[in-house]
């Protein structure tokens, strides 16, 4: 039995969690504490010097959060992970390890609107320069590579239209350029796509979405694939050079194939501070236990709703990679055979006004700015999540004025279709 | 002789058996510099109760955490259970050859993370010595006791059994029962590609 590899659903329930050795508690305890006592002065010094594994302060690590980290690392096939306060925080922490002021990273143009804002504006003030490329045109990534390029960033299933990215093709570009490929796997979750199997070096998530799954807790996570060699050419000094913060430790030589996750923890989380509440970690862990069941239901419902919408006379077009006619259907069959996710867009023949009317008439779909909840959700990206983009950028990112985005929940699909029917028809 | 060990993927019980049975460990290439990986591993294993012996001809006359350095394995002057080699792959063979002259022989020869010499391993195994290559005993101890999970590391183990209560303060027991957990195939592949290139 010991050499048998467990399946995904077994990992979703068990990875990282074991009965508490002192109390026997079977559910993961919520260690709602800021700090942890040391055994003695030498133990404290060993922990601060990264010489021992253990707990110091919840801004660096927490035993509840650690269970979440190990579980997501196992589900993604990574060597280690670091949980942080949000998906946005995960992106800041990752890029802080990779970029120095004046450096560049290449990002797919089709991204969550919040990421586009973060990359364009917030990161510019750090001197981290984003260079956009088109995920439908792999050569555009190759053309964007310069000597200052330090990473490539893509979404596996891209917001808002649910388009599928050719991860392997872009990982080939990254490998050739000698930079890590970062994949935001939020909309797929590892149940649908495991980017590390396709060449990703780092995976990030907003845990707030399908992993937590219940719309009750913010969180983010960084997974280290353990695949990238950080030692070459001094290109990644946070990992390869002696760190003055830790008396000259070189993280790569000390921590091997989980050095990136350690760098994120001891140089990123420790110093930038976006720690995840242990309570949120507990809520998200509970959600992950049912991820395989929920995700399949999300996908099955989404496909039924997309098929219904595609046949509706008021609907101009549906962008859902699970439909055989969709331009991303081939990629969906390759990367996400169990389902093409549950977030997609459609456009209405009645344009902007019809979109506003639909949103206001829906009774079961909640009008809000989130995705990946048990509940079905609807939003008009042009006026909300993507509102800070100019019109051309809105259209390029798939959020034109006539576009409505939905995140299909796990209700009965007949009820969701009936709700859309009354809202579209009246 | 037992079946040939697969040095690409050791069963957890093989590693756990070694770490549970050896008591004395001679660390070849131990460094007194407190930010070097060998220092980390030496200190950690000492704190876990192993009888540690630092071997490094460049530091004879000095001590590492109170343990006097010796110049070579033959200078230890008493039986040792395990030799942990903190040297590059190209420097493994002479150390193994020296280890094979010891009487009694060590039970285990362990080559540090990044170090691998299949010929040296075969030589040691032919006289009944267990060999581990390209692993760190500190990381393996932390992984199999699940202590390393506190750092968010994938321990690649699962368990529904209650482990023995921690002893010696922070120490989690190595005697925990577990089955295989989430794999890290992509990282293993990357490491293999790298070692084959070099």
> Which CATH number characterizes residue A100's domain?
3.40.640.10
A272 in any annotated domain: yes
State mean pLDDT over A138-164: 96
Does A184 share its domain with A251? yes
Burial state string for A65-104 with b = 16 or more CB within 10 A and e = fewer than 16? bbbbbbbbbbbbbbbbbbbbbbbbbbbbbbbbbbbeeebb
Query: Which residue's structure tokens are 């876990």?
Result: B48
Q: Is B98 exposed, middle or buried (0-12, 13-18, 19+ CB in 10 A)?
A: middle
List CB contacts (< 8 A) between B8 and chain A: none
Does A281 share its domain with A326? no
B135-182 residue pLDDT tens: 999 999 999 988 999 999 999 999 999 888 766 544 567 777 788 888
Write the CA distances from A242 to A95, A250, A255, B43, integer angstroms: 19, 5, 13, 20
Q: How confident is the model at residue B9 (pLDDT cuts 50, 70, 90)?
A: confident
A269 in any annotated domain: yes
Mutate to test the interface with B, among A49, A53, A193, A224 (most CBs of B within 10 A): A53
What stretches of A266-359 adopt beta strand conformation (E)?
A: 315-319, 343-348
A2 in any annotated domain: no
Asked if residue A412 has pLDDT above 90, the reply is yes
Does A84 share its domain with A180? yes
State mean pLDDT over A378-401: 81
- Between B69 and B178, the higher pLDDT residue: B69
A162 in any annotated domain: yes
Residue A9 has which token pair?
């659903």
Mutate to test the interface with A, among B186, B188, B195, B198 (most CBs of A within 10 A): B186
Query: Which residue range(s) make up the domain with A70?
Result: 8-287
A1 in any annotated domain: no
Residue A217 has which token pair?
């807790």
Q: Measuring CA to CA, which residue among A319, A275, A290 is closest to residue A71?
A: A290
CB B60 within 8 Å of CB A274: no
Q: Which residues pair with B55 in a beta bridge?
A: B28, B70
A147 in any annotated domain: yes
pTM: 0.95
Last-in-domain residue among A259, A287, A315: A287
Does A120 share its domain with A223? yes
Q: How confident is the model at residue B5 (pLDDT cuts 50, 70, 90)?
A: confident
* pLDDT the model gives residue B153: 96
Does A397 share its domain with A412? yes
Asked if residue B67 has pLDDT above 50, the reply is yes
Beta-carbon separation of B186 and A226 below 8 A: yes
Gap from B127 CA to chain A (nearest CA, Å) = 27
Q: Measuring CA to CA, which residue among B113, B132, B136, B115 is closest to residue B124?
A: B132
Count of structural domains within chain A: 2
CB A220 within 8 Å of CB A85: yes
Mutate to test the interface with A, among B45, B182, B192, B197 (most CBs of A within 10 A): B182
Does A303 share its domain with A243? no
List CB contacts (< 8 A) between A185 and chain B: none
Does A174 share its domain with A312? no
Last-in-domain residue among A287, A322, A345: A287
Centroid of chain to Cα A201: 14
A106 in any annotated domain: yes
Q: Is A382 exposed, middle or buried (0-12, 13-18, 19+ CB in 10 A)?
A: buried
List CB contacts (< 8 A) between A1 and chain B: 179-180
Among chain B residues, the shortest Cα distance to A262 is held by B151
Q: How confident is the model at residue A127 (pLDDT cuts 50, 70, 90)?
A: very high
Residues 6+ apart with CB under 8 A from B44: A51, A52, B138, B141, B142
Centroid of chain to Cα A109: 16
List CB contacts (< 8 A) between B163 and chain A: 18-19, 21
A3 in any annotated domain: no
* pLDDT the model gives residue B167: 63
Q: How confident is the model at residue A234 (pLDDT cuts 50, 70, 90)?
A: confident
State mean pLDDT over A173-177: 97
Last-in-domain residue among A266, A287, A308: A287
| % of chain A at pLDDT higher than 90 | 84
> Residue A372 is part of a domain; what is its CATH number?
3.90.1150.10
Asked if residue A69 has pLDDT above 90, the reply is yes
Among chain A residues, the shortest Cα distance to B184 is held by A77
Does A244 share its domain with A367? no
Does A254 share its domain with A351? no
Beta-carbon separation of B180 and A61 below 8 A: no
Does A323 share its domain with A203? no
Does A67 share its domain with A151? yes
Does A296 share its domain with A190? no
What's the whole-number average pLDDT of chain A? 95
């Amino acid at each position: 039995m010991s050499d048998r590899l467990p399946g995904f659903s077994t990992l979703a329930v068990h990875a990282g969690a074991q009965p508490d050795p002192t109390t026997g508690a079977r559910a993961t305890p919520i260690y709602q504490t800021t700090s942890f006592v040391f055994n003695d002065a030498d133990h404290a010094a060993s922990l601060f010097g990264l010489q021992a594994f253990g707990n110091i302060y919840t801004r660096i690590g927490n035993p509840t959060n650690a269970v979440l980290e190990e579980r997501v690392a196992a589900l993604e096939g990574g060597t280690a992970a670091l949980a942080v306060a949000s998906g946005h925080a995960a992106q800041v922490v990752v890029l802080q390890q990779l970029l120095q002021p004046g450096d560049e990273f290449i990002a797919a143009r089709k991204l969550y609107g919040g990421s586009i804002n973060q990359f364009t504006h917030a990161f510019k003030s750090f001197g981290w320069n984003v260079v956009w490329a088109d995920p439908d045109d792999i050569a555009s990534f190759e053309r964007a590579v310069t000597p200052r390029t330090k990473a490539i960033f893509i979404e596996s299933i891209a917001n808002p239209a649910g388009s599928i990215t050719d991860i392997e093709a872009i990982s080939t570009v990254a490998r050739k350029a000698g930079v890590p490929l970062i994949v935001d796997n939020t909309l797929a979750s590892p149940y649908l796509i495991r980017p590390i199997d396709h060449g990703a070096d780092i995976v990030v998530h907003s845990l707030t979405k399908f992993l937590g799954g219940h719309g009750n807790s913010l969180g983010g996570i960084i997974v280290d694939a353990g695949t990238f060699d950080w030692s070459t050419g001094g290109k990644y000094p946070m990992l390869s050079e002696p760190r003055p913060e830790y008396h000259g430790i070189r993280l790569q030589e000390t921590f091997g194939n989980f050095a990136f996750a350690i760098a994120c923890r001891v140089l990123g989380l420790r110093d930038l501070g976006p720690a995840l509440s242990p309570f949120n970690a507990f809520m998200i862990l509970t959600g992950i236990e049912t991820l395989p069941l929920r995700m399949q239901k999300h996908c099955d419902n989404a496909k039924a709703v997309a098929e219904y919408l595609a046949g509706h006379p008021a609907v101009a077009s549906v962008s859902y990679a699970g439909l055989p006619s969709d331009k991303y259907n081939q990629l969906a069959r390759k990367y996400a055979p169990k389902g093409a996710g549950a977030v997609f867009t459609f456009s209405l023949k009645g344009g902007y006004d019809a979109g506003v009317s639909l949103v206001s008439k829906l009774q079961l779909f909640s009008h809000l700015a989130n995705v990946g909840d048990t509940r079905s959700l609807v939003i008009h990206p042009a006026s909300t999540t993507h509102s800070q983009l100019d019109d051309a950028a809105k259209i390029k990112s798939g959020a034109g004025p006539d576009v409505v985005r939905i995140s299909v929940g796990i209700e009965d699909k007949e009820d969701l279709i009936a709700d859309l029917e009354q809202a579209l028809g009246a | 002789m037992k079946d040939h060990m697969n040095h690409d993927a050791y069963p957890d019980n093989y590693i756990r058996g070694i770490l549970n049975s050896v008591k004395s460990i001679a660390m070849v290439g131990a460094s007194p510099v407190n930010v070097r990986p060998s220092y980390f591993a030496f200190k950690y294993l000492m704190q876990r109760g192993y009888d540690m012996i630092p071997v490094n001809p460049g530091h004879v006359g000095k001590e590492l955490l109170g343990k006097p350095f010796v110049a070579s394995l033959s200078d230890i002057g008493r039986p040792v259970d395990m030799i942990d080699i903190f040297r590059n792959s190209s420097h493994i063979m002479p150390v193994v050859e020296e280890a094979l002259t010891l009487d009694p022989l060590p039970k285990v020869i362990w080559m540090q993370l990044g170090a691998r010499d299949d010929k040296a391993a075969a030589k040691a195994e032919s006289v009944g010595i267990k060999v581990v290559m390209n692993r760190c005993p500190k990381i393996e101890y932390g992984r199999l006791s699940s202590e390393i999970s506190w750092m968010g590391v994938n321990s690649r183990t699962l368990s529904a059994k209650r482990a023995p209560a921690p002893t010696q303060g922070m120490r989690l027991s190595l005697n925990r029962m577990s089955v295989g957990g989430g794999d890290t195939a992509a990282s293993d592949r990357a490491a293999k590609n790298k070692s084959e290139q070099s």
